[in-house]
Amino acid sequence: MFFQKPNIPKGTRDFTPVEMARRNYIFDTLRGIFQVFGYQPIETPAMENLSTLMGKYGEEGDKLLFKILNSGNFLDKTQDPGLNLLSEDPLSHYKELTPFITEKGLRYDLTVPFARFVVQHQHELVFPFKRYQIQPVWRADRPQKGRYREFFQCDVDVIGSPSLLYEVELVQIIDKVFSALGIKVSIRINNRKILAGIAETIGASGKFNDIMVAIDKLDKIGVDKVNEELTVRGLSKEAVELLQPFLRQEGALESNSGILEGLLLNSETGKKGIREFQEIKEMLDNLQLKNNFALDIKLARGLNYYTGTIIEVKALDAKMGSICGGGRYDDLTGIFGLPDMSGVGISFGADRIYDVMLELGLFPADIAATTRVLFVNFGPEEVKYCLTMASRIRESGISSEIYPEVAKLKKQMEYANRKNIPFVILAGQDEINHGRISVKNMKSGEQQTIESGELLTFLQL
RNA sequence: GUGGUCGUAGCUCAGUUGGUUAGAGCGAUAGAUUGUGGAUCUAUAGGUCGUGGGUUCGAGCCCCAUCUUCCACCCCA
């Protein structure tokens, strides 16, 4: 008989019960906090029309979209003689061919589908609309540690208000979430307007994206290499020269936005960005957060729909990319025909949070326990006796199970032990005759005999 | 997408310059103990050496391809 070793696609994973218990611990924590701030859940389909997805994440993003081949004879539409896509040299025409054979794609994040959702349901929603969404997303990236092709994002967004109060709220949520999970984090904040102001000040607004990419690497490769890269990317000598104050005083800028303001005197946009940050900072300073936040002008973020505040969160004690990030977008719904809808939101990377928590040993030990009580199976008579009791305690929400067959006690005890079941009930003929049961506490090893009617109160202690 | 890297029992890993029958620890199963798990002792089972080709009298080891893992770019949760 032939068999193939089964496998799952690169960058995807199965989750065992233990892993699910831990993942749900994260999801439950997030959900609880989101709800406390008044956010409501929604879900959207795994696949979207490619027209919804394409062009929203920059050129790189388009490449990382998983595209779904049309069903049926997907080559049908390419037969148009005017197109000549297949007859000549199909290999060199693969890009032009793409829209003819695929029109759906797996979602790349939750923000763009959310924008689409808002536009489609605008008449049913109450604005400002606050929603959260916990679902998987897919990226055709090359996997690495902390980088998967299928992973869960947990998004909180509010759309329909430019109020900076929501930026503050989101930072509060970040702070609450990570203190609840026990992860120490640094929260870095920047503003696209500040970045635009810098580009404007050095007279290189046209090179905005190149400047962002280069500045983003400052920590990694240092000032000199950044300058080199800027030159390679076509920035003039003068512009690079003008940029130096920003690059070299970076530390001072974090602690004193006055210096930054001085540097951006001639840029209205830049000054507006600074004012926004200061306003947010003032509100946050009164809130006594458990984690630190700071302005970081190096923070750029790749997604090109951000227009204001941008936020990124990193774990302090683990080597991992950002575990949470987001920002404000002024016109994400504009492309879908609903202009002037400012929104702001963040996304928690559940899988990276999981990896960090596992590395740091932050999961509670008893997290995987599902059954609280196991009834030992001594035979058909005894099982009947146990079935009644099992039903009764289940009524009270206490999970219980009966061992399925008459096996050696050792085996049954071992089953309880391995499943982390804290209580084992032994009810043999002896106990039944007296209307009693023996309860063994698997943690302490103690065992006592009680009236069968006392079981519920015993367990509820 | 570019460059590199890893893969041997369920898990962690040995395996010499290519040489007979591929090993260990942990785990699993059974027993020592017929109503008592975790500790100990004994025994047993468990391997397409990632997959497919090739070189060779002979390949876990060498060559090619491919899949997977991890890493650096790129980008990002």
Neighbouring CB atoms inside 10 A of A438's CB total 16
A347 with A155: CB under 8 angstroms? yes
Mean pLDDT of the region A399-428: 92
Tell whether A194 and A310 lie within a shared domain: yes
Return the closest nucleotide (C1') to the Cα of A446: B36
Asked if strand B comes closer than 7 Å to A120 Cβ, the answer is no
Dump pLDDT digits (tens) for A266-319.
889 999 999 999 999 999 999 999 999 999 888 887 667 889 999 999 999 888
Of A272, A290, A316, the residue that ends a domain is: A316
Q: Which of residues 3-22 of A touch strand B (CB under 7 A)?
A: 5, 7, 9-11
Q: Read off the pLDDT of each residue in A56-71 and give the average, rounded to a whole number.
A: 87
Instruction: Kindly state whether residues A382 and A284 are assigned to the same domain.
Output: no
Last residue of a domain, one of A316, A347, A365: A316
Inform me whether the pLDDT recorded for A79 exceeds 80: no
Domain-embedded: residue A454: yes
Confidence of residue A77 (pLDDT cuts 50, 70, 90): low
Do A271 and A390 share a domain, yes or no? no
Q: Which nucleotide is nearest, taking the CA of residue A148 and each C1'? A: B77
Q: Tell me, what CATH number does A212's domain have?
A: 3.30.930.10
Rounded-to-integer distance, Cα A128 and Cα A138, Å = 28
Q: What's the structural domain count of chain A? A: 2
Question: Which residues partner with A315 through β-bridges?
Answer: A185
pLDDT-based confidence at A221, cuts 50/70/90? confident
Q: What separation, in Å, do the N-terminal and C-terminal C-alpha atoms of chain A show? A: 56
Report pLDDT for A1. Answer: 36
Alpha carbons A98 and A92: distance in angstroms, whole number = 12
pLDDT confidence of residue A58: 79
Minimum-distance nucleotide, CA of A322 to C1': B77
Tell me if A386 is assigned to some domain. Answer: yes
Per-residue confidence band for A94, with pLDDT thresholds at 50, 70 and 90: low
Q: Which nucleotide C1' is nearest A347 CA?
A: B77
Q: Does residue A82 surpass a pLDDT of 80?
A: no
Asked whether residue A442's C-beta has any atom of DNA/RNA strand B within 7 A, the reply is yes
Last residue of some domain: A316, A348, A382? A316
Greatest extent of chain A over all pairs of C-alpha atoms, in Å: 96
Least confident residue range of A70-84, A104-118, A310-324: A70-84
Give the pLDDT confidence score for residue A57 in this predicted structure: 85
> Is pLDDT above 80 for A3?
no
| Whether residue A2 has pLDDT greater than 60 | no
Query: Are A312 and A193 within one domain?
Result: yes
Residue A269, in any domain of the structure: yes
CATH code assigned at A385: 3.40.50.800
Chain A span 208-237 residues with beta carbon within 7 Å of strand B: 213, 216-217, 220
Indicate whether A329 belongs to any domain. Answer: no
Distance in Å, residue A147 CA to nucleotide B69 C1': 13
Span CA (A250) to C1' (B2), Å: 32
* Same domain flag for A402 and A298: no
pLDDT attached to residue A253: 62
Same domain (yes/no): A197, A304: yes
Residues A229 and A307 in one domain: yes
Instruction: Name, in order, each residue with C-beta under 8 angstroms of A16's C-beta and a sequence gap of 6 or more.
Output: none
Is A441 part of any domain? yes
Query: Could you give the dihedral angle defined by the CA atoms of residues A151, A157, A162 and A168, in that order, rounded to the nearest 10 degrees?
Result: -90
Higher pLDDT, residue A241 or A342: A342
Across all strands, nucleotide nearest A432 (CA–C1'): B35
Residue A84: its pLDDT value, please? Answer: 58
Mean pLDDT over A47-74 rounds to 88
Q: Answer for A95: CB within 7 Å of strand B.
A: no
Tokens coding A219: 């920590």
pLDDT at A87 (0 to 100): 54
**Shared domain check, A192 and A307:** yes
- Nucleotide at minimal C1' distance from the A447 CA: B36
With distances taken from each CA to the C1' atom of nucleotide B73, the closest residue turns out to be A142
Residue A90 reports pLDDT greater than 60: no
Q: Helices (DSSP H) in A37-122: which residue ranges? A: 50-53, 58-63, 94-101, 111-120
Query: Would you say residue A209 lies in a domain?
Result: yes
In the structure, what pLDDT confidence band is assigned to residue A50 with cuts at 50, 70 and 90? very high
A177 touches strand B (CB under 7 A): no
Q: How far is CA A7 from CA A10, A84, A137, A363, in A?
A: 9, 39, 20, 29
Does residue A308 share a domain with residue A210? Answer: yes
Average pLDDT, chain A: 88
Q: Is residue A447 part of a domain?
A: yes
Q: Are residues A312 and A378 in the same domain?
A: no
- For residues A293 and A406, state if they share a domain: no
Please state the rounded mean pLDDT for residues A247-258. 67
Range of the domain at A291: 185-316
Residues A281, A395, single domain; the answer is no
A334 CB contact with strand B at below 7 Å: no
Q: Which of residues 127-166 of A touch strand B (CB under 7 A)?
A: 139, 141-149, 151, 153
The answer to whether position A137 is within a domain reads: no
Q: Which residue is nearest to nucleotide B70 (CA to C1')?
A: A144
Provide, rounded to the nearest whole percent, the portion of chain A with pLDDT above 70. Answer: 92
Q: Which pLDDT tens digit goes with each residue over A428-440?
A: 999 999 999 999 9
The answer, yes or no, to whether residue A454 has pLDDT greater than 50, is yes
Q: What is the mean pLDDT of residues A247-255?
A: 67
Chain B: nucleotides under 7 Å from a protein CB? 1-3, 28-31, 33-38, 48, 50-51, 67-77
- pLDDT higher for A7 or A88? A7
Please tell me the least confidently modeled range out of A42-51, A72-81, A273-282, A318-327.
Answer: A72-81
Of all residues in chain A, the percent with pLDDT exceeding 90 is: 58
User: What pLDDT score does A352 carry?
Assistant: 92
**Does A328 contact strand B, using a CB cutoff of 7 Å?**
no
